[in-house]
Structure 1
Amino acid sequence: MLAPLLFFLGGCKRYLDVAPDNIGTIDYAFRMRKEAEKYLFTCYNNLPQLGTISSDPAFIGGDEFATIYPPGIYFDPALYRIARGEQNKISPFANYWDGGNGGRSYFQALRECNIFLENVDKVPDLTDFEKKRWVAEVKFLKAYYHFYLFQLYGPIPLIKVNLPVSASIEEVRIKRQPVDSVVNYISDLIDESLFYLPDEISNKSSELGRITKPIALAVKARLLVVAASPLYNGNPDYANFKNKDGAPLFNAAVSQEKWVRAAAACKAAIDAAHAAGNKLYTFIPSFGETVTDSTKTVLSITGALTDKWNTETVWGLSNAYVSYIQAACQARVTSGDPSVVENPPSTNESIRSDLAASLNMAEMFYSNNGVPIEEDKQYDYANRFTKLRTAKSQEGFYLKRGYETAQLHFDREPRFYADLGFDGSIWYGLGLYDDSKTWFVEAKHGQRAAQLGAGLYSVTGYWPKKLVNYRNDFGSNSAGYSTRNYPWPAIRLAELYLLYAEALNEANGPGAAYEWIDKVRARAGLKGVQESWSSYAKNASKPSTKEGLREIIQRETLIELVFEGKRFWDLRRWKTAPVYLNTPIKGWDLAQEDAVNYYRVKQLFAPTFTPKDYLWPLSEYALVVNPNLVQNPGW
């Protein structure tokens, strides 16, 4: 977990300003424990702002979200252009190599980590144990910054130590290292950090956010699964990708051992997380609250993300602008209380509603039988868009009773209703526990959730409700929107379970993998994979083969981690990105007042993904400054 920035990182960016005139800056930074701790916080301060529109390409740069384009005054447009196929090598978006366009130079971040490691021995009033712990934390951070660069650029230079000022021009012009060398170096750095990292944070009032052993092991697990995946493991597309000296940057041979190694790393991470008290989140009502079983399931799904520092959070980051995200994802809802007089939607512009979920995501979720809707023998897939139904009493915990909406919104799994808001859906919020106080989304033209002004609306007719804390105060029509914020889940326990299931299946085939995917499904209110497919799927034997279970695990991962910034990376490492990221982004016909015409599918834009998009471009400036670097393929 990472503590709130106001506590942990505030005031650290400009620590060098504390140095008096005529005193060497680095020497002063390590003169005493207090100053050295500020430098430690500076190393932490480089952590990426995951779940942030302006700086996380994996959050807004894929196919999960859509917004008005060109964006309005409330929306930073830069990284959204990645989703629209506008990445470039002149001035790359999310440039974490040089810095700029939503990115910061992670080579500078690595330099700061090395400065700390080179100078921490100078601090006279630092205990030996504390020094070892600080060194372990910075080694982990150094490993993580290398890993972040690796995900973006593939083979990268390794910044093991800082070069001296006297280094020659040729020494400064470092080369990219092969993928296997990069992965092994990052893994070794994490291993070096483990011994002196705590198993968990005991003093939560002052140390929440410091790196722990479960965090380090979880990142190692993710690293090794990525390295074992098709993009990096014997990828024939990169057979001719070499340094200028002819040295290959990718190993041409597929290694099954990499999956075995990844599985072991996942199991170690899970064991450490369990020992530290992590478990899948289950919603527990507050005193006096009465919650139905279906509501409890839905709130267990969303609470795993939005319930602050909950048991499922292995690593949480508090540097994301979560209040901004929640306002962007919040629909303007209608009360089910007949005593509430609804004011016009324009009375509350603090609810922006401008970050929409794509209709593509709505189609991704399972049926209520726990299988894909296109594979379910009982689901009316052919008429999912055109058939209209009226919600009856048995659907009342998910849909507004008596409301007409599309077939696509009926007979879906609990995660569909937990993660998405749409026309006719219930929006769980304050006062949700009886019918007279339930909130609803009504999104057709002229209704409360419809377009407000030039840009304050969902362009698809879907809202990523998953990212909104159900305890937010959105009941007042005229007052400002009040959010209850939470740390962004860099890693949840459910992700580790799914990574482990994937690695086990790839290493040994179906068998042991079922247990771990089924744990995630059970929390989502679904039966196990084998039972669901054998009972309801057109291809009942699909889970019995490695290839079939691979597809199932990938679909389960995309559903469970939707809107969390993982899909962007997973589609790339699986080499399935062209299948999804060349599919048109769709929504409903928002200008219509009646259901028959509103529920017409409209294409918003056609994204483009080509093989070059698997790896980020190095800027042309970087190649001029360092002629020993080679550009990524296709750029």
Structure 2
Amino acid sequence: MKLLYNSLCLAALLVLTTAGCRKYLDIVPDNVATIDNAFKMRADAEKYLYTCYNNLPQFGNEGADPGFMTGDEFATVYPVLGNINGNLYRIARGEQNIVSPIANYWDSKYFQALRECNIFLENVDKVRDLTDFEKKRWVAEVKFLKAYYHYYLVRMYGPIPIIKKNLPISASVEEVKVKRQHVDSVFNYTVSLIDEAAVDLPVILPNEFSELGRITKPIALAIKAEILTTAASPLYNGNQNYANFRNKDNEPLFSNTASPEKWQRAAQACREAITACEANGNRLYEFVPRSVTTKVSDSTQRLMSIRAAVTDKWNVELIWGASNSTGGGSRGFQSLSQARLSPFTGTIPNENIGSMLAPPLHIAEMFYSNNGVPIEEDKSYKYGTRFTALRKALKSERYYIREGYTTVQLNFDREPRFYADLGFDGGIWFGQGKNDDDNTWVLEGKLGQTGGRQGASLYSVTGYWPKKLANYNNTINDPAQQYNVEGYPFPIMRLADLYLLYAEALNESQGPSAEVYGWIDKVRARAGLKGVVESWTKFSNKSSKFSSKEGLREIIQRERLIELVFEGKRFWDLRRWKVAENYLQRSVNGWDIAQREAVNYYRVKPIYTSSFSLKDYFWPISENSLIVNPNLVQNPGW
């Protein structure tokens, strides 16, 4: 029995160790795949380098990116129908389990990715025609990727085994039985790899045309800042809930005491990253129409500066974009985000306009009032009637809502990011090939209208659409009945994200200050809002909120949730802040979309009830993995 177990383990190791070679069978003589053949010449090794990149997450993919549909930013038809992958949505609805975990990345993708990175690092010296400069750069890129895969796993599962080197085929049974490492050790190892990589990474890409998406030094420093901010956050930094979370040898996996030094280290990393990115030309994006004949108002230009900061591909604000989403990937989430705006879109093939990603009401409530403070704090906002009061839009509101159109109070008197990021019944939608003077459509979302419910699944179940994700350059071609999509790299890190990380780290390490306000205000100014101090002093019923660390923490967190909405950040932020249970135990609601009249349409309708408990902060390891490797311990609560 022992011999059988040993043989199975060694066979598994062999398969995993050579997995990276399977993509290169076409370059190996006589179809015999070996590591030596994969690293014989530069061209072959470069293919293996791209294999290491190919393991990066599919950002913005609703069926593969945990940050996208696993949280509470989107609802959709359930059971899932049509052209949408609802696998991760099942987790949002409380269906995760230990027998066959949904999105079981522990047993599949990312540990394999680490093995492939190690294979590259262990064999790159064998390449005969690789220059020293190229080798240093490639090694640095793979070290960064290796760090990122560790980071991705630790966010998902908490303490993980550190995979410094691949185990040899001759490894004993006990060596195969790896155990989880203290969460601080995982973060420290991850950061050390990035520090090693940063030395040899280029500041700018030598060949931007063919290398967009590859790792540069500014990217590495920005992700280091995010990693250290995550490590300093309450989920990982002195989390008392995990005081008894230990390996089977009784080694602790979390520290019981929070370390202020972690926030200081995060702040320093953020400052270094900002300096490097700005020196490299990164700045907050401002919209400029591509055509001199395109006419836009000042209001529309502001809205597009917000929206196109995401969709204008490879723009100056983007620090790191997912090049694997510029084609089919972004077409997927763009189709699911696009509302039907033209009567002709009802006949456009379903795969082009799915219109199925639906932000719930709590996302619409999250945005500030037009005074730049939360609607529940604004002294003048009609918060009590936000769901019930109907009114017609005035001429002064025509850039946001069609003049004379009746909609609900929740859609009035909101900040520009509300109108830039959300589509809603009666809302103005810029772009998509409209050729009239102001290049705008009007979204009509009630039953029987152009954007309303169609068929069994092709509609927004809440009455809101993530307009932010639909590139304004996509075109609705009425005569040809086509929807043409221009892809873009899904943002992994952009400058506004980094500014807000820095503000957070400064506040946690030093408390409120003019410097902290300044970094938040940079982001707010692009959104057309006054600074934090002025806005809260004048308009909030919590006028001194910004003056305490706790109050400013709430402001910074709300600012991140608004600015980075739909970008896959909320899912991770709510967890690292250790506040997910405050957001994810609620009724997920929308409007009554099966109605034709405004008075009936604008009624709150429950879609499902989300649940969240301590165990949901980290995903479970499958029961089978715990049986195969008895040195592993399960995450608490599972």
Same fold (TM over 0.5): yes
Shift of 1:21: 2.9
The answer to whether residue 267 in structure 2 is matched with residue 256 in structure 1 is: no
What secondary structure, in the 3-state scheme, does the structure 2 residue paired with 1:550 have?
helix
Three-state SS of the structure 1 residue aligned to 2:319 is strand
- The residue correspondences of 1:300-311 to structure 2 (distance < 5 A) are 300-311=305-316
Aligned twin of 1:490: 492
Q: CA, structure 1 residues 626+333, in 2 after alignment: closer, same or farther (shift >3 Å)?
A: same
Aligned match for 1:297, one of 289, 293, 302: 302
Quote the residue 1:558 is aligned against: 561
| 2-structure distance, mates of 1:240, 1:288 | 65
Q: Which moved more, 1:583-592 or 1:409-418?
A: 583-592
Which of 297, 322, 338 is the matching residue for 1:330? Answer: 338
Identity of aligned residues (%): 64
2:9 is matched with which residue?
none
CA distance in 1, matches of 2:433, 2:190: 48
Q: Secondary structure at the match of 2:391?
A: strand
Report 1:79-478 matches (<5 A).
Answer: 79-99=88-108, 104=109, 106-286=110-290, 287-320=292-325, 321-334=329-342, 342-343=343-344, 345-346=346-347, 349=350, 350-430=352-432, 438-476=440-478
Question: Cα distance, 1:431 vs. partner?
Answer: 5.5
Contact 1:158 1:182 (8 Å CA) reproduced: yes
**How far apart, CA to CA, are the structure 2 residues paired with 1:344 and 1:435?**
21
Task: Confirm or deny that 1:578 pairs with 2:581.
Answer: yes
- Name the SS of the counterpart of 1:606 in structure 2: strand
The answer as to 2:493 corresponding to 1:523 is no
**In 1: Cα distance, 2:31 partner to 2:294 partner:** 63
What secondary structure, in the 3-state scheme, does the structure 2 residue paired with 1:382 have?
A: helix
TM-score (structure 2 length as normaliser): 0.94
Question: Over residues 311-356 of structure 1, what are the superposed CA-to-partner deviations in whole Å (9 max), with x where a residue is unaligned?
Answer: 011000022311011111111114xxxxxxx458345533221111
Aligned to 2:249, what secondary structure does the other structure show?
coil
Given residue 112 of structure 1, which amino acid in structure 2 is its aligned partner?
A: E
**Amino acid across the alignment from 1:263:** A
User: Which of 623, 626, 629 is equivalent to 1:623?
Assistant: 626
Distance 1:68 1:217 in 2: 40
Corresponding residue to 2:68 among 49, 55, 59? 59
Relative to structure 1, the CA distance from residue 505 to residue 396 in structure 2 (aligned partners, 3 Å threshold; closer, same or farther) is same
Are the equivalent residues in 1 in contact too, given 2:21–2:35 (CA < 8 A)? Answer: no
Structure 2 residue identity aligned to 1:299: M
Deviation larger for 24-33 or 395-404: 24-33
Matched, 1:569 2:572: yes
Aligned-partner residue type, residue 249 of structure 2: D
1:26 aligns with 2:30: no
1:547 aligns with 2:550: yes
Of 502-511 and 314-323, more deviation after overlay is shown by 314-323
| Counterpart residue type for residue 562 of structure 1 | V
- Report the AA paired with residue 87 of structure 1: Q
Equivalent position amino acid for 2:40 in 1: R
Q: Report the Cα distance in structure 2 between the residues aligned to 1:528 and 1:24, rounded to whole angstroms.
A: 60
The answer as to whether partners of 2:21 and 2:33 remain within 8 angstroms in 1 is: no
CA distance in 2, matches of 1:532, 1:344: 42
1:289 Cα deviation from its structure 2 partner:
2.3
C-alpha separation between the residues in 1 aligned to 2:358 and 2:479?
21
Native 8 Å contact 2:580 2:612 kept in 1: yes
2:611 is matched with which residue?
608
Q: Provide the aligned C-alpha RMSD in A.
A: 1.5
Q: Is the 8 A contact 2:345 2:481 kept in 1?
A: no
CA contact (8 A) 1:290 1:433 kept: no
SS in 1 for 2:482: coil
- Unaligned regions of 5+ residues in structure 2, if any? 1-19
TM-score by length of 1: 0.94
Aligned to 1:4: none
Per-residue CA deviation, residues 586-618 of structure 1 (Å, 9 max, x unaligned), is 100111111111100001000111110000101
C-alpha separation between the residues in 2 aligned to 1:202 and 1:522?
34
CA–CA separation in structure 2 for the residues paired with 1:211 and 1:37: 15
Instruction: Give 1:18 shift.
Output: 2.1
Are 2:344 and 2:478, in contact at CA under 8 Å, matched by a contact in 1? no
CA distance, structure 2, for counterparts of residue 524 and residue 448 of structure 1 = 30
Whichever residue aligns with residue 337 of structure 2, its letter is C
What is the distance in 1 between the residues matched to 2:30 and 2:435? 63
Q: What's the secondary structure of 2:589's corresponding residue?
A: strand
In 2, distance between residues paired with 1:438 and 1:173? 60
Asked if structure 1 preserves the Cα contact closer than 8 Å seen for 2:337 and 2:355, the reply is yes
Q: Secondary structure at the match of 1:243?
A: coil
Give the whole-Å Cα distance in 2 for the aligned partners of 1:31 and 1:367: 61
Q: Corresponding residue for 1:5?
A: none
2-side partners of 1:492 and 1:174: how far apart?
36
Distance in 2, matches of 1:152 and 1:462, equals 29
Distance 1:594 1:14, change over 3 A: same
Q: Tell me the residue number matched to 1:3.
A: none
Tell me whether 279-288 or 262-271 shows the greater mean CA deviation.
279-288
Write the deviation string for residues 105-143 of structure 1: whole angstroms up to 9, x where unpaired: x11111111111111111111111111111101000000
Please give the alpha-carbon distance, in whole angstroms, between the structure 2 residues aligned to 1:156 and 1:518: 38
Write the distance in 2 (CA, Å) between the matches of 1:475 and 1:412: 31
Q: What is the SS of the residue equivalent to 1:357? A: coil
**Residues 491-519 of structure 1 deviation map (CA, whole Å, 9 limit, x = unaligned):** 11100000000000000001121111100
Give the Å deviation of 1:209: 2.0
- Whether the 8 Å contact between 1:13 and 1:45 is mirrored in structure 2 is no
1:343-371 per-residue CA deviation (whole Å, 9 max, x = no partner) reads 58345533221111111110000000000
User: 69, 78, 82: which one pairs with 1:73?
Assistant: 82
The change in CA–CA distance for 1:32 and 1:416 in structure 2 (over 3 A counts) is: same
* Counterpart residue type for residue 324 of structure 1: G
Q: Which has the higher helix share?
A: 2
Asked if the contact 1:369/1:526 (under 8 Å) is kept, the reply is: yes
Alpha-carbon contact 1:54-1:78 (below 8 Å) kept: yes
Match of 1:418, SS? helix
Letter in 1 for 2:250: G
What SS does the aligned partner of 1:356 have? coil
Q: For residues 31 and 347 of structure 1, what CA distance do their matches in structure 2 show?
A: 50
Alignment partners' CA distance in 2, 1:12 and 1:74: 33
Change (3 A) 1:433 1:497: farther
What is the total number of aligned residue pairs between the two structures?
613
Q: Do 2:294 and 2:439's aligned partners in 1 also have CA atoms closer than 8 Å?
A: no
Q: What are structure 1's unaligned runs of at least 5 residues?
A: 1-10, 335-341
Q: Relative to structure 1, is the Cα distance of residues 140 and 223 closer, same or farther in structure 2, using a 3 angstrom cutoff?
A: same
Tell me how far apart the structure 2 counterparts of residues 328 and 480 of structure 1 sit (CA, whole Å).
15
Question: In 2, distance between residues paired with 1:436 and 1:109?
Answer: 48
Q: Tell me: CA distance 1:20–1:12, structure 2 relative to 1, closer, same or farther (3 Å).
A: closer
- Return the offset for 1:292: 1.2
